[in-house]
Structure 1
Amino acid sequence: MKMSTRDRTETYRTKKFTELFSELEDCDEIEQKVGILEINKIIDEMNEEELESIFTPNLFNKVDKMIEEKKMTMKNAILLLKHVGYCNVLKNVCNRCFRGSSLNKIFEEMIFKEEKKRKEKDEKFLVDLCECYLLLSDCYSLKFVSVCVPCLLKVALNKEESEENQKEVETALFTLSYIGKWNDVGKILFLEEIKEIIQYNQEHRNLTRLAYQSAIQFLTDRLYKDISLEQIIMNELHFVKEARRELEELIGCIDWKRERKEKRRGKEAKEELVLLRWLKILDFCFDLCKLWNEEYVGLIDSIAQVHRAAKENNREICFYCIYSFKLATENIVVKVEDLLNGGAVDAVLEEIRQSMLIDKIALSSLEYMLEISERLKDEVDDEKGKEERKIMKKKVIEKMEEEGYEDVIVSFQEILPFLCKNFNIDSLDISDYFVNI
C-alpha cells in the first residue's frame, strides 16, 4: 500500500527522533544540549499519535540509565523531559508512562531534597524539577502540590517584560494549569497570588495568551473543590467579560485556512490550541455556575461565533462549542430565553444538518434540543411570563420549520440507538421534540 504524504512525514519525524536520541550518549555536555534542542524542534511538530508512540516507559528508563552512567547531565535531561511534558499537555496527550518509570521516584526525591536546603538552595533548579515532574506525571500527592505551587507562583509573579521572563512565566502557569481539578490545593497556597497575576494582566496585558488562559484555568479548576470561589471568579475577576474578549480576539488572529494545512502536516498553531483550552474551561461555568446574569448571553454568542469560524476547519473545536451549549441547558439557573437568544440554536441546527456527522457532536446536539424542548414546557408563574413564553415557542417552531428541522429529526431515528449504545446513555425519546411542544 502506498504511503500518504502525512504518513511519510510522521515516519520521518519518528525516525529522526530515534536517530538523534541514540546519538546523545556519545556527546559531551555542550554537544548533547545542541542535540536536545534539535530533538525538541522535532517534538514540536509531532501529533498526538507520534507523541504517544515515542514516549514509552523504555524511553524514560533509558534517560534514567544515561543519567546514572553519567552519559547525560540532569540539566540536559530536564531540558528534554520538560519539553516532552509541555508538548504532551499542550496537545492533550494522555501519557501515563512516566508514573511507572524509575525517573518518577528520582524526581520526587530530588524535589524534596532541594526544597529542604536553605542557603545553598538553587531556586531555578527547583523550579525546573517541579515543572518537569508535574508536566510528566498525572498523579501526585498533596505534599508535592504544597511544594510546587508556591514555587511556581513565585516565578509567575515576576512582572519583568523581557521575552525570556515571559516564557518562564508562561511555563510556570501552564504547569499549574495541569494540576487538575480534583487535586486539593488550599486557598492559602494560591489565592492572593493568582488573583494578583490575573488582575495585573487585565490592567497591563503582560502575559502571553497561553499564560493568561493557564492562570484562569488553574483558578477555575479549584472551584470543583471549593464552590465559594465562584464569587471571586465571576465578580472580582470578571470571568465572563474576559472569556468573551479572549475568544473573540483568538477568532480574529487564527488563520483558519492555514490551520487546515498545518493540521494535515501534524502541526497546530498555539493560538488554536489556546482557543480549545478556553472552550474546555468554560464547561465549569455552564456546569456549576450559580451566579447567572445577562453577560452570559454575550458569552453564548461568542461561542457561537467560534463555532462559525471553526465549522469547516476544526471539528474538535466545534464539538466543545456544542458541548458547552448542552451543559448550559442542564443548568437550571441558565434562562431558556438566554439559550435561544445567544446563537446556540443556530449553531446546533447547523451541526445536525451536516452531511457527515461526528457521533459525539450529533449526540450533544440532540441532547441540547431535547433539553430545550423540556425547558420550554416548564410552568411560568405570572401571566406576562406565560405570554412571552408562548410567543417564544411560536418563534422557535417557525424557525424549525424554516430549517427543515422535522425532517432532520426523523433522519436521526436510525442512528439514535447507535449513539445511546456507544456513549453509554439512557434511551433518548426522539418523539418528544419541538414538533410536539
Structure 2
Amino acid sequence: MTKTEQFSKLFCELEHCREDEQVWKIDEMNEMMDEMDEEEFLTVFTKELLNQMGKMIEEKTLSWGNAILLLKQAGYCKMLRHIYDFAFYPSLLGKRMKEMIFNENEKNEEKNEKLLTDLCVCYISLNFHFEPELLNICVPCLLNVALSKEETDEVQKEVEMALLCLSCIDDRYILRQELHLNKTKESILYHQEHRNLTKLAYQSAWQFLINRLHKDMSLDKVIINELHFGREAARELEELSRNVDWNRKKEEEMNKEEANEVLIIERWLETSGYYFLRCKLENEENVALLKNIVQVYRAAGDNNRDISSECTFPLRNAAENRVVKDEDLLKGDAIDAILEEMQRPTLNDFIAHDSLIFFMNVSIRLKEEDDDEKEKVKRKATKRKVLEKMEEEGYEDTITNFHEMFEFLDKKYYGNLSLSISDYLVNV
C-alpha cells in the first residue's frame, strides 16, 4: 500500500477505536504526513476528510484532543512546505473551529487557555484567509505561548509552532502595533541574550515582524536600530550554511537535520528579500548580510539550484532599494556574484530574469547625478570601481548575449524588464 492508502485506511479505522487506540493510529498518520510530498499531502488532506472529522467530533467518536493531535501535524507540514491547501476554510470543521475560538475567548473564569491556544494554532496553520476579529484573538494568544521561558523540548516545540503560525500571517493583514509589537520584541531580544529558541522559531519571529513592515513603515526603526535584523540574519545564515554539505549532488538525499537547515536558510533568504524591498533606513549592517547571502549563493553553486534562485530575490531587491548604497553592493560582493551566475552553464530563466533586473537597477543607480559636490566626488569614485569590476568580468558581452531574451523573460515573469539594451549599459 502507498502512504496515502495507508493513511486513508487508518483514518477510516479511527471512529471504530477506543480513544487510546486512536492516539496510536494518529501517531502513525502523523509520521506518514511528515514523509509525504505536496501531492501526497493534498491527496489525503481533503475537504471530505475534514468534513468527516467534523462529523466524528459531533457524534463523539473522535475527541477534540485527538483531532487536534492530527490537525497540528497537518498544519506543521503545510506551513514548512508552503503547501497551498484550500480545503480547511470552507469545511464544516473549519467553520466549527472558528465558532469555538470566538466562544472560548468570550468566557472569563471558565476560559480554557490550552484549548484556545490549540484551536488558534490549528486554525492559523491550516488556513489561507483570516478575519481581522479572529486575528485579534489569535495573535496575542500565540505570542503569549511564544514568550514561555521554559526550555523543555515539549514547551520549545509549542513555542516553535506558535511562532511558525504567526509567520504565516502574511503582509496583506494589518495588525495594530499594540497587538503584537512589545511581545514580538521581547521574544526576539530574550533570544538574543539567552539563545532559548530553536532556529526555526527565531526565524519565524523575524518573518512575522518583517511581514508587518509592508503596512507599517514605522517599524523600520525597531527592526534596524533596536533589533538589528541585518546583523542577526547574517549570523544565522553563516551558522546554518556551515552545517550543510553543499558538495552533495542534487540527486543525493540529505539527512533530515541537513534538510531542515536548508529549509530554514530558504526562509531567511525570503525574509531578507522582503527586508531589502521595504526598509527605508540606511544601515551599515547590510554589507554583512549581503556578504552572507553571497556566501550561501556560491556554496550552493550548481548542486542546489533552488537555493541559488532564492538568493537572487534579496540581491535583486537590494539593488532596487536606494537606501542600500552602491558601495554596499560592491563591498557585499553582490555584483561579483550575479556576474558569476550569469556566466554559469546551468543558469535558468528565473535566475537570468532576476539577474537582469539586478543589473538594470545598478545601471540606473550609476547614471544618477548628485547636486552635492562631496557626494558627486564620492559617487564618481564608487562608479569607477563598479564599472571597472564589471568590465573585468566581461559584463557588456554578457548583457549583449542576453539581449534577444529580454522580451521572453519579461513576459514569462512579469518583471518589468526594460527591452532596451542601453538601460543596462553605462559608459566608464
TM bucket, shorter chain: over 0.9
2:181 maps to a residue whose letter is L
Q: Structure 1, residues 82-137: CA drift from partner, whole Å, max 9, x if none?
A: 21111111111121221121111100111122222233322111111010001111
What is the alpha-carbon distance in structure 1 between the residues aligned to residue 345 and residue 293 of structure 2?
A: 22
Structure 2 CA distance for partners of 1:293 and 1:266, relative to 1, 3 Å = closer
Residue aligning to 1:429: 420
What is the alpha-carbon distance in structure 2 between the residues aligned to residue 359 and residue 261 of structure 1?
A: 21
What is the alpha-carbon distance in structure 2 between the residues aligned to residue 63 and residue 355 of structure 1?
A: 51
Structure 2 CA distance for partners of 1:175 and 1:52, relative to 1, 3 Å = same
Structure 2 CA distance for partners of 1:269 and 1:192, relative to 1, 3 Å = same
Residue aligning to 1:225: 215
- Deviation at residue 264 of structure 1 after TM alignment: 8.4
Correspondent of 1:35 among 21, 25, 50: 25
Residue aligning to 2:300: 310
1:430 maps to a residue whose letter is I
Q: Structure 1, residues 234-287: CA drift from partner, whole Å, max 9, x if none?
A: 111122111111111111122335694565899972221111111111123211
Please report the TM-score for the alignment, with normalisation by the length of structure 2.
0.92
What is the alpha-carbon distance in structure 1 between the residues aligned to residue 28 and residue 332 of structure 2?
A: 47
Comparing 378-387 and 121-130, the one that deviates more: 378-387
Correspondent of 1:334 among 310, 317, 324: 324
Q: Report if aligned partners of 1:181, 1:224 keep a CA contact under 8 Å in 2.
A: yes
Residue aligning to 1:78: 68
| Aligned positions, number | 427
Superposed counterparts of 1:133-148, under 5 Å: 133-148=123-138
- Deviation at residue 420 of structure 1 after TM alignment: 1.4
What is the alpha-carbon distance in structure 1 between the residues aligned to residue 385 and residue 141 of structure 2?
A: 55
- Deviation at residue 47 of structure 1 after TM alignment: 2.2
Matched, 1:95 2:95: no
Residue aligning to 2:56: 66
Structure 2 CA distance for partners of 1:378 and 1:83, relative to 1, 3 Å = same
Q: Structure 1, residues 319-359: CA drift from partner, whole Å, max 9, x if none?
A: 22212111112112221121122111122112211223322
- Deviation at residue 401 of structure 1 after TM alignment: 4.0
3-state SS, counterpart of residue 380 of structure 1 = coil
Please report the TM-score for the alignment, with normalisation by the length of structure 1.
0.91
Q: Structure 1, residues 361-396: CA drift from partner, whole Å, max 9, x if none?
A: 111100111111121111134556545544444444
Structure 2: where are the runs of 5+ without partners? none
Matched, 1:213 2:203: yes
- Deviation at residue 71 of structure 1 after TM alignment: 2.8
Comparing 373-382 and 194-203, the one that deviates more: 373-382
Residue aligning to 2:180: 190
Q: Report if aligned partners of 1:111, 1:129 keep a CA contact under 8 Å in 2.
A: yes
Q: Report if aligned partners of 1:45, 1:266 keep a CA contact under 8 Å in 2.
A: no
Structure 2 CA distance for partners of 1:129 and 1:435, relative to 1, 3 Å = same
What is the alpha-carbon distance in structure 2 between the residues aligned to residue 335 and residue 59 of structure 1?
A: 53
Residue aligning to 1:403: 393
- Give RMSD over aligned pairs: 2.3
What is the alpha-carbon distance in structure 2 between the residues aligned to residue 51 and residue 258 of structure 1?
A: 27
What is the alpha-carbon distance in structure 2 between the residues aligned to residue 258 and residue 397 of structure 1?
A: 35
Residue aligning to 2:229: 239
Comparing 76-85 and 11-20, the one that deviates more: 11-20
Comparing 277-286 and 368-377, the one that deviates more: 277-286
Sequence identity of aligned pairs in percent? 52
Q: Report if aligned partners of 1:213, 1:277 keep a CA contact under 8 Å in 2.
A: yes
What is the alpha-carbon distance in structure 1 between the residues aligned to residue 174 and residue 297 of structure 2?
A: 34
Correspondent of 1:150 among 134, 140, 144: 140
1:276 maps to a residue whose letter is E
Matched, 1:56 2:46: yes
What is the alpha-carbon distance in structure 1 between the residues aligned to residue 53 and residue 347 of structure 2?
A: 44
What is the alpha-carbon distance in structure 2 between the residues aligned to residue 163 and residue 266 of structure 1?
A: 18
What is the alpha-carbon distance in structure 2 between the residues aligned to residue 104 and residue 190 of structure 1?
A: 25
Comparing 299-308 and 55-64, the one that deviates more: 55-64
What is the alpha-carbon distance in structure 1 between the residues aligned to residue 376 and residue 352 of structure 2?
A: 32
Q: Report if aligned partners of 1:45, 1:267 keep a CA contact under 8 Å in 2.
A: no
What is the alpha-carbon distance in structure 1 between the residues aligned to residue 216 and residue 279 of structure 2?
A: 12
Q: Report if aligned partners of 1:127, 1:152 keep a CA contact under 8 Å in 2.
A: yes
- Deviation at residue 429 of structure 1 after TM alignment: 1.8
Residue aligning to 1:7: none
